[in-house]
């Protein structure tokens, strides 16, 4: 039986800050941000968006009533969780009005979480081929103002519907993965922003890639010539290019040309959204699938997932006949092109807005946020969500 990605949704908030302007405000050269880091715009979330709402907004666009009935497992990957106990998946399950005869859980391993979700979904579907699994990867990436990581923030979510006989991509059975206990990036329970050893994290991202790539080649016998493209977890777009360059000389001139050209396509969405942690690899895949003009059905796409702490995995998938018909390119282009630019001052003000931490109630300004699903406030320690499309 073949299992994989049947549909892919994506959501990012309606505001962004321009990286040239952020660079000027930070006394950096704009080219450091746009070329050295490879980011042009960074999504800025309003206080009415959190991991739950971003994910629900991403999933709403792809699910029809038949999907909702067949989904019996919701796996919510995030490192921006909203509760220590209750899974974000349960809020999303409710907001999306999914079938109650379902399991709903949250998984965590930094940016690797959604890949863990996808691999678990494959196991579930192989036992229950008639069921579908909704995998959500949703995050708000926060390092803090005036930090080296600031330029690599972002916000957004991907929603991936996994099924048997998928219409977009069949995922291969073989996969190479690696775990090592390292402190490259983490967020202690008391901190709202991530701690990071930036250069060390880059080094580990790259060394994990080499490890799992070598292992994958041994396991499968595949080499660069077998891949139309390789998508990477993109904390910022230059990072993927650095990793690709580590192996590109294994290929012929034609392999190099093809893989570098397709890498350019695969970074287009990420460079105007920023790091969305768990969803970043799949945003890059979406960018590749929605924007390429020459990748044929049957082509193999490699996927490198990395979550700090750290777990890395390399796997691949085969594009299915007429895969473009099942994507939502028009919707995503519209969402991205209709966003509003905010000034650096407005971005800083939004960054500094916080929900009360002392247990008091709050009503949030939902009228300022065009998203359908919103956090409307906190009452009696409970988060209040609304879905404007269903009220
Ligand atoms: P930094 O020290 O500010 O930057 O931090 P830099 O001095 O290393 O410069 C960055 C690049 O810009 C360099 O290029 C410079 O040469 C270049 P490189 O050597 O890397 O190719 N540059 C210029 N280029 C053109 N024109 C100029 C110019 N000036 C400089 N004028 C760093 C950069 C990435 C370390 C920082 O932003 C950071 O700490 N980011 C957060 C950590 C991160 O994203 N790590 C990536 C790997 S870990 C990962 O992916 C997991 C993660 O997503 C978390 C999770 O799993 O949940 C982060």
- The CB of 232 under 6 Å from ligand 1? The reply is no
Q: Are residues 95 and 8 in the same domain?
A: yes
Q: Are residues 139 and 204 in the same domain?
A: no
Point out the ligand 1 atom lying closest to the alpha carbon of residue 239.
Answer: 46
Model pLDDT, residue 324? 97
- The CB of 199 under 6 Å from ligand 1? The reply is yes
Question: Residue 211's closest CA among 314, 315, 316?
Answer: 314
Q: Rounded to an integer, what distance in angstroms lies between the CA atom of residue 40 and that of residue 45?
A: 17
- The CB of 29 under 6 Å from ligand 1? The reply is yes
Active site residue 233: yes
Q: Are residues 110 and 54 in the same domain?
A: yes
Q: Return the biggest CA–CA distance within the chain.
A: 63
Active site residue 79: yes
| Cβ atoms of 211 and 312 closer than 8 Å | yes
Known binding residue 143? Answer is yes
Closest CA to ligand 1's atom 28 = 32
Mean pLDDT, the chain, whole residue set: 97
The alpha carbon of 205 and the centre of ligand 1 are apart by a number of angstroms equal to 12
Res. 355: pLDDT tops 70: yes
Q: Are residues 288 and 374 in the same domain?
A: no
Q: Are residues 160 and 190 in the same domain?
A: no
Number of domains forming the structure of the chain: 2
Q: Are residues 110 and 214 in the same domain?
A: no
Q: Are residues 103 and 143 in the same domain?
A: yes
Model pLDDT, residue 232? 98
Q: List Cβ neighbours of 218 (8 Å cut-off, separation of 6 or more).
A: none
Q: Are residues 270 and 339 in the same domain?
A: no
Chain centroid to CA 174: how far? 22
Q: Rounded to an integer, what distance in angstroms lies between the CA atom of residue 180 and that of residue 9?
A: 31
Active site residue 325: no
Closest CA to ligand 1's atom 12 = 36
Q: Are residues 52 and 162 in the same domain?
A: yes
pLDDT in tens, 362-388: 999 999 999 999 999 999 999 999 998
The distance in angstroms from the start CA to the end CA of the chain is: 40
The alpha carbon of 38 and the centre of ligand 1 are apart by a number of angstroms equal to 9
Pocket test for ligand 1, best of 32, 33, 110, 313 (most atoms within 8 A of CB): 32
Stretch 4-24: mean pLDDT: 98
pLDDT in tens, 261-275: 999 999 999 999 999
pLDDT in tens, 110-123: 999 999 999 999 99
| Cβ atoms of 284 and 240 closer than 8 Å | yes
Q: Is the dihedral of CA 366, 88, 197, 241 positive or negative?
A: negative
The alpha carbon of 287 and the centre of ligand 1 are apart by a number of angstroms equal to 22
As beta bridge partners, residue 228 has: none
- The CB of 275 under 6 Å from ligand 1? The reply is yes
Q: Are residues 367 and 295 in the same domain?
A: no
Point out the ligand 1 atom lying closest to the alpha carbon of residue 36.
Answer: 12
Model pLDDT, residue 389? 85
How many residues belong to the chain? 391
% pLDDT > 70, the chain: 100
| Cβ atoms of 90 and 104 closer than 8 Å | yes
Q: Which domain holds residue 142?
A: 3-169+327-390
Of the candidates 40, 111, 262, 332, the residue annotated as catalytic is 111
| Domain end marker among 275, 294, 322 | 322
Q: To which residue do tokens 């300022």 refer?
A: 368
Stretch 327-355: mean pLDDT: 97
The alpha carbon of 150 and the centre of ligand 1 are apart by a number of angstroms equal to 10
Stretch 187-196: mean pLDDT: 96
pLDDT in tens, 27-82: 999 999 999 999 999 999 999 999 999 999 999 999 999 999 999 999 999 999 99
Q: Rounded to an integer, what distance in angstroms lies between the CA atom of residue 232 and that of residue 306?
A: 8
> What does the DSSP 8-state code read for residue 111?
B
pLDDT in tens, 199-253: 999 999 999 999 999 999 999 999 999 999 999 999 999 999 999 999 999 999 9
Known binding residue 275? Answer is yes
| Domain end marker among 304, 322, 340 | 322
What's the angle, vertex CA 354, arms to CA 350 and CA 356, rounded to 5? 155
At 261, list the tokens.
């050209």
Closest CA to ligand 1's atom 15 = 36
**H-assigned helices in the chain:** 19-25, 30-31, 51-60, 65-70, 88-95, 113-127, 198-220, 237-247, 253-266, 280-291, 329-337, 344-352
Model pLDDT, residue 390? 79
pTM above 0.75, yes or no: yes
- The CB of 203 under 6 Å from ligand 1? The reply is no
Concatenated DSSP letters for 318-373? EEPTTGGGGS-HHHHHHHHHTPEE--HHHHHHHHH----SSS--EE--GGG---SE
Q: Rounded to an integer, what distance in angstroms lies between the CA atom of residue 33 and that of residue 37?
A: 5
| Domain end marker among 265, 296, 322 | 322
As beta bridge partners, residue 325 has: none
- CA distance readout (Å), 159 to 49, 141, 165, 210, 260: 16, 17, 18, 28, 27
- The CB of 205 under 6 Å from ligand 1? The reply is yes
- The CB of 202 under 6 Å from ligand 1? The reply is yes
Model pLDDT, residue 54? 98
Q: Are residues 195 and 226 in the same domain?
A: yes
The alpha carbon of 126 and the centre of ligand 1 are apart by a number of angstroms equal to 40
Res. 104: pLDDT tops 70: yes
- CATH number of the domain at 125, please: 3.40.47.10
- The CB of 276 under 6 Å from ligand 1? The reply is no
Stretch 150-164: mean pLDDT: 98
Q: Are residues 165 and 181 in the same domain?
A: no
Q: Rounded to an integer, what distance in angstroms lies between the CA atom of residue 230 and that of residue 285?
A: 9
Q: How many CA atoms lie within 13 A of 300 on its CB side?
A: 12
The alpha carbon of 37 and the centre of ligand 1 are apart by a number of angstroms equal to 6
- The CB of 151 under 6 Å from ligand 1? The reply is yes
Res. 391: pLDDT tops 80: no
């Amino acid at each position: 039986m073949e299992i994989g990605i049947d549909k892919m949704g994506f959501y990012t908030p309606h505001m962004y800050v321009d990286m040239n302007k952020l660079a000027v405000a930070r006394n950096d050269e704009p080219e450091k941000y746009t070329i050295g880091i490879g980011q042009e715009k960074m999504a800025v979330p309003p206080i009415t968006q959190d991991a739950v709402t971003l994910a629900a907004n991403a999933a709403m666009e792809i699910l029809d009533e038949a999907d909702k009935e067949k989904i019996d497992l919701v796996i919510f990957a995030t490192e921006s969780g909203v509760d220590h106990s209750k899974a974000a998946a349960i809020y999303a399950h409710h907001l999306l009005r999914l079938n109650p005869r379902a399991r709903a859980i949250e998984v965590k391993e930094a940016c690797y979480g959604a890949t863990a979700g996808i691999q678990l979904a494959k196991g579930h579907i192989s036992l229950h081929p008639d069921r579908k699994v909704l995998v959500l990867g949703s995050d708000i990436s926060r390092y803090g103002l005036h930090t080296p990581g600031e330029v690599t923030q972002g916000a957004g979510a991907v929603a991936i519907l996994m099924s048997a006989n998928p219409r977009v991509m069949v995922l291969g059975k073989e996969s190479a993965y690696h775990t090592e206990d390292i402190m490259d990036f983490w967020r202690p329970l008391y901190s709202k922003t991530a701690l990071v050893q930036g250069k060390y994290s880059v080094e580990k991202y790259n060394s994990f890639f080499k490890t799992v790539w070598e292992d994958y080649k041994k396991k499968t016998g595949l080499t660069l010539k077998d891949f139309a493209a390789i998508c990477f977890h993109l904390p910022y777009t230059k990072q993927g290019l650095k990793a690709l360059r580590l192996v590109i000389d294994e290929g012929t001139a034609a392999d190099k040309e093809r893989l570098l050209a397709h890498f350019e396509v695969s970074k287009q969405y990420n460079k105007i959204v920023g790091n969305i942690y768990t969803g970043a690899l799949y945003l890059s895949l979406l960018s590749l699938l929605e924007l390429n003009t020459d990748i044929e059905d049957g082509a193999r796409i490699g996927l490198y997932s990395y979550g700090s702490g750290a777990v890395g995995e390399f796997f691949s998938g085969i594009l299915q006949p007429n895969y473009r018909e099942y994507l939502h390119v028009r919707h995503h282009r519209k969402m991205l092109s209709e966003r509003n630019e905010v000034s650096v001052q407005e971005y800083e003000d939004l960054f500094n807005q916080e929900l009360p931490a002392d247990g008091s109630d709050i009503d949030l300004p939902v009228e300022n946020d065009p998203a359908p699903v919103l956090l409307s406030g906190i009452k009696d320690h409970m988060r209040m969500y609304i879905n404007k499309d269903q009220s």
